[in-house]
Chains A and B, each alone.
Chain A
Amino acid sequence: MEFQPTPTDGVETETSEMQFDTEQLISRLFEKSSFDLNSYKLNRTLHLNWLVRLCFQGFPSRYVSQDASQPWLLFWILQSFQTLGVAVDPTTKQRAIDTILANQHPSGGFGGGPGQLPHLLPTYAAVCSLAIVGRPGEGGGWDQIDRQKMYQWFLSLKQPDGSFIVCHDAEVDMRGCYCLLTVATLLDMLTPELVRGTRAFVSSCQTYEGGFSASSYPYFTSDAPNHLSSLLRSPRPSLGEAHGGYTFCAVASLLLLRAQKDEGKDVLDTKKLLRWAVGMQGQEIEGGGFRGRTNKLVDGCYSWWVGGLFALIDDLLGAGGAPLERLDHDSHSDGKEGDDSHEWQDFEDGLFNKQALQKFVLVSSQSTTGGLRDKPGKPADAYHTLYNLSGLSSAQHHVYRSAEQAAKLESQWVRSAPFIPTGKEATESDEGRNERRKRIWVDANSWTEDEVASRYVGGKENRVNATHPVFDLTMTTSRAITNYFYGQNVPIA
Chain B
Amino acid sequence: MSTSRIPETYIPYAERPDWADVTPIPQHDSLDPLVPIHYTPEYKDATDYFRGVVQAGERSERVLDLTEYIISLNPSHYSVWQYRYSTLIALKSDLAAELKLMNTIAAENLKSYQVWHHRRLLLTQLRSAEGELDFIAAALEEDKKNYHTWAYRQWVLAEFNDDEMWAGELGLIEKLLDKDVRNNSAWSHRFFIVWDSGIRKGEEDRETVTRRELAYTKEMISLAPNNASAWNYLRGVLERTATPLSSLEAFVAPYARAHSHISGFITPASNETEGVFIDLENPLPSESASLPCPLAIEFLADIWEEKGGEEGAKKASEYFASLAEKYDPMRKRYWEFRQKEAQAPHPVTVSA
Contact = CB atoms under 8 A, between A and B. Distances in A.
A332 B350 contact: yes
A265 interface: yes
Contacts of A67: 37, 39, 43, 47, 74, 76-77
Contact of A288 (B144, B330, B337): B330
B40 A61 contact: yes
Given A95-B32, A102-B28, A6 B349 contact: no
B201 to A, nearest CB: 10
Interface string B61-102: 000000000000111111101100110000000000000000
Contacts of B169: none
Contacts of B43: 61, 64, 67
A240 B232 contact: no
- Interface size on B, as a range, is 35 or more
Nearest to A14: B180
B229 A295 contact: yes
B73 to A, nearest CB: 6
Contacts of A484: none
A295 B236 contact: no
Contacts of B150: 240-241
A394 to B, nearest CB: 15
A333 interface: yes
Contacts of A217: 154-155, 158-159
Interface stretch (A162-170, A364-372, A475-483): A162-170
Contacts of A329: 346, 348, 350
A222 interface: no
Interface SS of chain A: loop
Contact of A15 (B38, B73, B183): B183
Kindly name the residue among A96, A238, A241, A281 whose own CB sees the greatest number of chain B CB atoms within 10 A. A241
B39 A61 contact: yes
B182 A9 contact: no
Contacts of B351: 265-268, 333
A134 to B, nearest CB: 14
Interface stretch (A38-46, A225-233, A453-461): A225-233
Nearest to B74: A64
Interface stretch (B113-121, B245-253, B265-273): B113-121
A186 interface: no
Nearest to A11: B224
A61 B350 contact: no
B95 to A, nearest CB: 14
B195 interface: yes
Interface residues of A, number: 112
A333 B350 contact: yes
A323 interface: yes
B139 to A, nearest CB: 15
Interface stretch (A206-214, A373-381, A415-423, A442-450): A206-214
B39 A350 contact: no
Contacts of B147: 214, 240-241, 243
Interface stretch (B2-10, B184-192, B275-283): B184-192
Contact of B334 (A7, A58, A352): A352
B350 A7 contact: no
B331 interface: yes
Contact of A296 (B51, B180, B184): B184
A367 to B, nearest CB: 19
B331 A278 contact: yes
Contacts of A257: 352
B192 A353 contact: no
Interface string A266-292: 111111001010110111100010000
A150 B233 CA distance: 42
Which 9 residue pairs across A and B have the least CB separation, nearest first?
Answer: A10-B288, A208-B236, A232-B198, A7-B290, A58-B36, A241-B188, A15-B182, A237-B196, A240-B151
Interface of B: 25, 27-28, 31-40, 43, 47, 51, 54, 73-79, 81-82, 85-86, 113-114, 117, 120-121, 144-145, 147, 150-151, 154-155, 158-159, 161, 179-185, 187-188, 191-192, 195-199, 223-229, 232-233, 235-236, 239-240, 285-290, 330-334, 336-337, 340-341, 346, 348-352
Given A8-B290, A208-B232, A239-B154, 18 more contacts: A8-B226, A66-B76, A70-B37, A95-B33, A114-B27, A115-B27, A170-B114, A209-B236, A217-B158, A217-B159, A231-B161, A232-B197, A237-B192, A240-B147, A258-B352, A293-B184, A295-B184, A353-B333
30 contacts: A7-B226, A8-B224, A67-B37, A68-B77, A74-B34, A95-B32, A99-B34, A117-B79, A168-B82, A169-B81, A208-B195, A208-B233, A208-B239, A208-B240, A213-B151, A214-B151, A225-B161, A232-B197, A234-B198, A237-B154, A237-B192, A238-B192, A239-B151, A241-B188, A242-B188, A243-B147, A254-B352, A294-B228, A294-B229, A318-B350
